[in-house]
Amino acid sequence: MEEMKDVILEYVTNEYLEEDDDEISYDTPLISGGIVDSFSMASLKRFLEVKYKISIPDDKATPEAFDSVDKIVELVKEYVS
Partner 1 sequence: MSNIGSYEERVKNFNWKISEDELSYNAGDVINIGWYCSDRICQMGKADKLAMIWEGLGGKEKKYTFDDVRIKSNVIAQFLRDLGIKNEDRVCLFMDKIPELYFGCLGILKIGAIAQPLFSAFGDESLHVRLENAETNTIITQKKHVSKVRKILEKMPYLKHIVVVDDDGRKPLRERELAFNMDEAEDVNQFEIFPTKAESPSILHYTSGTTGQPKGVKHVHYSLISQYLTTKWVLDLQENDIYWCTADPGWVTGTSYGIIGPWSLGITQCVLDTGFGADSWYRFIEKNKISMWYSAPTAIRSLMKAGDEVVEKYDLSSLRHLASVGEPLNAEAVIWSEKVFGLPFYDTYWQTETGSMMICNFPGMKVKPGSMGKTVPGVTGGIVDPETFEEITEPNKGGLIAFRPGWPAMMRSYWNNEETYQSKFKNGWYIPGDKSTIDGDGYFWFMGRDDDIINTGGHLVSPFEVESALLEHESIAESAVVAKPDMVNMEVVKAFVTLNAGFKPTEELELEIMNFIRKRLSPLAMPQEIEYLEKLPKTRSGKIMRRLLRAQEWGEEIGDTSTLEDD
Contact residues: partner 1, CB under 8 A: 15, 18-21, 29-40, 42-43, 46-47, 49-50, 62-64, 67
**Would you say 10 or 64 has its CB closer to partner 1?**
64
**Cβ atoms within 10 Å, residue 8:** 22
Tell me, rounded to whole angstroms, the distance of Cα 2 from its chain centroid: 14
Tell me the closest approach of the beta carbon of residue 20 to partner 1, in angstroms: 4
CA distance 81 to 77: 8
- When the beta carbons of 13 and 40 are compared against partner 1, the nearer one is 40
